[in-house]
Amino acid sequence: MDMSKLRDVATAPGPFASVYLDASHDTEDAAKIADLRWRGLRDQLADQGAPEKTLAALDRAVSAAEPPAGKAGRVLIASGASVLVDQTLPVPPPADVTRYSSLPDLLPLASYLPPPVPHVVVVADSSGADLHSFDGQVELVQSVRGRQHPLHKAGGGGWSHRRMHQRVEDTVKHNAKQVADEVERLVDEVRAELVVLGGEVQARSAVRTELGLDDDLVVEVEGTGLAGGTDDDEFGNAVRALVAQRQQRRDADVVERFRAELGRDGLAVEGLGRVADALREANVDTLVVNPDVLADQLVWTSDRPDQVGADEAGVREFAEEPVGVERNRADDAFTRAAAVTGANVVAGDDIEVLQGVGAILRHRP
Collapsing DSSP to helix, strand or coil, 287 comes out as strand
Q: What are phi and psi of 80, to 5 degrees?
A: 60, -125
The whole-number pLDDT of residue 114 equals 66
The whole-number pLDDT of residue 345 equals 92
172 backbone φψ class: left, alpha, beta (φ>0; ψ -120 to 50)? alpha
Distance CA 346, CA 255 (A): 8
The whole-number pLDDT of residue 318 equals 66
Segments of the chain with pLDDT less than 70: 1, 114-115, 146-172, 223-233, 318-323
Strand-pair category, 298-302 with 308-309 = antiparallel
Residues in contact with 32: Cβ distance below 8 Å, sequence separation at least 6, in sequence order: none
Tell me whether the CATH fold assigned to 1-113 matches the one assigned to 119-249.
Answer: no
The whole-number pLDDT of residue 89 equals 84
Q: What are phi and psi of 315, to 5 degrees?
A: -70, -45
Distance CA 187, CA 212 (A): 11
Residue 309 burial (C-beta neighbours within 10 Å; 0-12, 13-18, 19+) = buried
Which helix (H) or strand (E) segment is 309 a member of? strand 308-309
The whole-number pLDDT of residue 237 equals 76
Q: Which of 288, 361, 302, 291 is nearest to 330 (CA)?
A: 291
Per the CATH hierarchy, to which homologous superfamily does domain 119-249 belong?
eRF1 domain 2 (3.30.420.60)
The whole-number pLDDT of residue 169 equals 60
Residues in contact with 318: Cβ distance below 8 Å, sequence separation at least 6, in sequence order: 280, 307, 309
CATH fold for domain 267-364:
60s Ribosomal Protein L30; Chain: A; (3.30.1330)
Distance CA 277, CA 326 (A): 17
Written as one letter, the residue type at 359 is A
The whole-number pLDDT of residue 167 equals 54
Per residue in 7-43, pLDDT (tens digit) is 899 999 989 999 999 988 878 888 888 889 999 999 9
The whole-number pLDDT of residue 290 equals 94
Distance CA 329, CA 338 (A): 14
Residues in contact with 27: Cβ distance below 8 Å, sequence separation at least 6, in sequence order: 33
**1-113 belongs to which CATH class?**
alpha beta
* Dihedral of the alpha carbons of 258, 259, 265, 270, in degrees to the nearest 10: 70
Residues in contact with 302: Cβ distance below 8 Å, sequence separation at least 6, in sequence order: 315, 316, 319, 323, 324, 325, 326
* Domain residue limits, the chain: 1-113, 119-249, 267-364
pTM: 0.75
Collapsing DSSP to helix, strand or coil, 313 comes out as helix
Q: End-to-end CA distance of the chain, in Å?
A: 24
The whole-number pLDDT of residue 112 equals 77
Distance CA 337, CA 235 (A): 39
Q: What are phi and psi of 305, to 5 degrees?
A: -60, -25
